[in-house]
A and B are shown apart, each in its own frame.
Chain A
Amino acid sequence: MFDLVIPLIIGVIAGYLLRNRKHINLNKIVFGTILLLIFSLGFTIGSNNELLNSLPKVGFNALVLCLSAVTFSVLFVKVAKRIAGF
């Protein structure tokens, strides 16, 4: 997994070194990169026929996992609010 942390760390160091440069707008680059990433993700899913057939099952599992994560998140925030008093 180090190959994923390395670009992140290099980015932080490069950003820190470039922090006094005139402001560079990176939002368009981020947006373009996200679209490229999502396109290639869609491409990988689309070219995998086994995966396409398993979609209905994935959808149900996704809903259960999502609702479970969301329920515990809200519950924990309510408890933390009572304990920390904010």
Chain B
Amino acid sequence: MIKYILIALGLGGLAGYLNSVSGNTAAEGFVSDFLFNASLMMLLFVMGLMFGMDKESLAKLKKTGPKVLVVPFVVALGSILGGLVGGLILGINVVVSMAICAGYGWYTLTGPLIVQIFGTEYGMLGFSVNFLRELLTITTISLMIRIDRYAPIAIGGATTMDTTLPVIVRYCGSDSLVSAFSNGFVLSVAAPFTIVAIASLR
């Protein structure tokens, strides 16, 4: 998954660079405005469609009980506070840094969403922060598991329901499947809403 995303990002960057060198503004307008917005809306529509169609998604969530909601809730709070502290350290707009960290590692959503709300430069930061979070989850898991059994799930954030799930289950044991999946599920649903809510504080 990461491999194909890096290839798509690299090809897009190269195509955009070559296009700007040749000065073709029509193609830039088509890709940056139309294709970008159309694919973002399509993705949000399909995410909603999958949630609505899956009869078990809600039942699965209910079955695991309210205790399992504690982990994603504190991970969300910790991420947003981390965004505030990080923003203060770097001296950048804290609303932007909190909104970026409220992506919980879901860079494919956060990057484009931050571009639309705060502009392209912050979008790049939003993409990088959350992309690094996913990379960090996979690369540091064998160290983090020693700090806490739940540490890889906390670091993985929204990615623990898909991309980092196989890695987490392998290192933390099969009993971590439900807590990891539900953590990622709750944070994935929460991410677009918390980003938009924080952005409205501006």
Binding site for B on A (CB under 8 A): 1, 3-5, 7-19, 24, 26, 29-31, 33-52, 54-55, 58-59, 61-81, 84, 86
Contacts and interface: CB of A to CB of B under 8 A. Distances in A.
B157 A73 contact: yes
B117 A45 contact: no
A69 B83 contact: yes
A77 B150 contact: yes
Contact of B74 (A13, A71, A76): A76
B136 A66 contact: yes
A39 B12 contact: yes
Interface of B: 1, 4-5, 8-20, 28, 31-32, 35-36, 39-55, 67, 70-71, 74-75, 77-79, 81-83, 85-87, 89-90, 92, 97, 100-101, 108, 111-113, 115-117, 120-121, 123-125, 127-133, 136, 144, 147-148, 150-151, 153-155, 157, 192-193, 196, 199-200
B98 to A, nearest CB: 9
A69 B129 contact: yes
B45 A8 contact: yes
8 contacts: A33-B46, A40-B35, A40-B39, A41-B9, A58-B121, A64-B90, A70-B155, A76-B77
